């Protein structure tokens, strides 16, 4: 059985972690394949937005498959997966320029939460829950500790990080971790609808806007403004920047070419 599924629906790519019997926890094979698929998505000019989800309704991703690793199913044990994880983690060495939506369909824990945090948008079914229980196992939620305090109130992030307690989907919505809560049957359709809305926009502008938003989290304002000036010059000189206003004036859909 393939541990990762990759599907194209028009301008949208759907990447599904397909290990439901293991709560969609990832092993070394799965995380390598995920990195390769995201690179493939990012290079495909026909694709504009990706959706990351998990198979079934029980779990989005429960993080690393600790049982398999401790059982020495993969060479090198747990340390090797952490190395591979750092290498292929979405948003770190795999730099995805296009938007990615996490469609969270159940447990979103540990490394699974880190994957969701690395996505640009998160929506969830009402069965979802979000947690970082690493402190209970003497493991670090490192990437999550970097991202989580930027995305939700600091006090809420600290309670999650230090207690290992989980948030319900409704609570995650209230604190801004996710933007929608839907019924399980409506999750993928809602994610596709959002993806198609984004995909209809000018792709070059979307990619640069995503980059600006992530840079704003960490860069010094002066560095950010220098990058912004260069980005604005690039956009203003593009074919798409001419096509957008022209299509508006002519009252027709824009024909963007990502250049």
Q: What is the pLDDT of residues 221-251, one digit of tens each?
A: 888 898 888 888 888 888 777 878 877 887 8
Whether residues 30 and 56 share a domain: the answer is yes
Do residues 17 and 2 touch, judged by C-beta distance below 8 A?
no
Whether residues 12 and 33 share a domain: the answer is yes
Partnered with residue 167 across adjacent β-strands are 130
Q: What is the pLDDT of residues 51-74, one digit of tens each?
A: 999 998 899 999 888 766 544 443
CA torsion sign for 168, 170, 176, 177 is positive
Please check whether residue 66 lies inside any domain of the structure.
Answer: yes
Q: What is the pLDDT of residue 86?
A: 39
Q: What is the pLDDT of residue 94?
A: 53
Picking from 199, 219, 238, the residue at the C-terminal end of a domain is: 199
Do residues 65 and 22 touch, judged by C-beta distance below 8 A?
yes
Q: Do the strands 166-168 and 180-182 form a parallel or antiparallel pair, or are they unpaired?
A: unpaired
Q: What is the pLDDT of residues 25-48, one digit of tens each?
A: 988 889 889 999 999 999 999 999
Structure-model confidence comparison of residues 123 and 233, the more confident one: 123
Cα separation values, 73 from 6, 68, 70, Å: 25, 5, 8
Q: Rounded to an integer, what distance in angstroms lies between the CA atom of residue 213 and that of residue 113?
A: 20
Q: What is the pLDDT of residues 136-148, one digit of tens each?
A: 888 888 888 888 9
Whether residues 130 and 61 share a domain: the answer is yes
Please check whether residue 61 lies inside any domain of the structure.
Answer: yes
Active site residues per annotation: 114, 134
Whether residues 34 and 118 share a domain: the answer is yes
Whether residues 230 and 150 share a domain: the answer is no
Q: What is the pLDDT of residue 92?
A: 44
- Span 200-217, average pLDDT: 91
| Percentage with pLDDT > 70 across the chain | 89
Structure-model confidence comparison of residues 163 and 66, the more confident one: 163
Instruction: Give the pair of three-digit tokens for residue 163.
Output: 């207690």
Whether residues 33 and 135 share a domain: the answer is yes
Whether residues 54 and 83 share a domain: the answer is yes
Please check whether residue 258 lies inside any domain of the structure.
Answer: no
Domain span including residue 176:
4-199
Q: What is the pLDDT of residue 78?
A: 31
Please check whether residue 217 lies inside any domain of the structure.
Answer: yes
Cα separation values, 129 from 13, 30, 110, 112, Å: 24, 22, 11, 11
Confidence of residue 8 (pLDDT cuts 50, 70, 90): very high
Whether residues 113 and 241 share a domain: the answer is no
CATH number at residue 53: 3.90.226.10
* C-alpha 238 chain-centroid distance: 28
Whether residues 221 and 117 share a domain: the answer is no
Please check whether residue 222 lies inside any domain of the structure.
Answer: yes
Q: Rounded to an integer, what distance in angstroms lies between the CA atom of residue 91 and that of residue 214?
A: 10
User: For the chain, what is the largest distance between any 2 Cα atoms, rounded to a whole number of angstroms?
Assistant: 64
- Span 169-181, average pLDDT: 97
Average pLDDT, the chain: 86
| Ranges 10-19, 21-30, 135-144: which has the least confidence | 135-144
Whether residues 146 and 244 share a domain: the answer is no
Q: What is the pLDDT of residue 249?
A: 82
- Span 119-138, average pLDDT: 93
Please check whether residue 242 lies inside any domain of the structure.
Answer: yes
Residue 79 predicted with pLDDT over 90? no
Q: Residues, the chain, total? A: 259
Please check whether residue 259 lies inside any domain of the structure.
Answer: no
* C-alpha 182 chain-centroid distance: 18
Collect all residues with Cβ–Cβ distance below 8 Å to 164 and sequence separation of at least 6. 131, 132, 133, 134, 135, 136
Please check whether residue 50 lies inside any domain of the structure.
Answer: yes
Reported as type and span, the H/E element at residue 218 is helix 203-218
Partnered with residue 17 across adjacent β-strands are 4, 54
Do residues 218 and 188 touch, judged by C-beta distance below 8 A?
no
Whether residues 52 and 140 share a domain: the answer is yes
Whether residues 17 and 103 share a domain: the answer is yes
Instruction: Give the pair of three-digit tokens for residue 97.
Output: 């320029």
Confidence of residue 88 (pLDDT cuts 50, 70, 90): very low
Q: What is the number of structural domains in the chain?
A: 2
Q: What is the pTM of this model?
A: 0.86
């Amino acid at each position: 059985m393939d541990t990762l599924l990759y599907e194209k629906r028009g301008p949208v790519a759907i990447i599904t972690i397909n290990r439901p019997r293991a709560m969609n926890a990832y092993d070394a094979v799965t995380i390598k394949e995920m990195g390769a698929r995201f690179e493939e998505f990012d290079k495909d000019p026909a694709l504009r937005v990706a959706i990351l989800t998990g198979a079934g309704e029980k779990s989005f991703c429960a993080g690393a498959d600790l049982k398999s690793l401790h059982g020495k199913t993969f060479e090198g044990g747990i340390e090797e997966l952490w190395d591979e994880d750092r290498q292929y983690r979405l948003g770190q060495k795999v730099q995805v320029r296009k938007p990615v939506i996490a469609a969270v369909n159940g447990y979103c824990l540990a490394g699974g939460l880190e994957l969701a945090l690395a996505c640009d948008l998160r929506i969830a079914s009402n069965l979802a829950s979000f947690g970082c229980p690493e402190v209970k196992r003497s493991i670090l939620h490192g990437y999550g500790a970097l991202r989580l305090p930027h995305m939700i109130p600091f006090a809420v992030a600290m309670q999650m990080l230090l207690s290992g307690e989980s948030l319900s989907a409704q609570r995650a919505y209230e604190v801004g971790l996710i933007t929608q809560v839907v019924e399980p049957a409506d999750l993928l359709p809602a994610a596709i609808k959002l993806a198609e809305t984004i995909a209809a926009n000018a792709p070059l502008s979307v990619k640069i806007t995503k980059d600006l938003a992530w840079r704003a989290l960490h860069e010094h304002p002066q560095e950010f403004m220098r990058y912004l000036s260069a980005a604005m010059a690039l956009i203003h000189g593009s074919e798409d920047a001419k096509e957008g206003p022209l299509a508006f004036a002519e009252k027709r859909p824009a024909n963007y070419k990502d250049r």
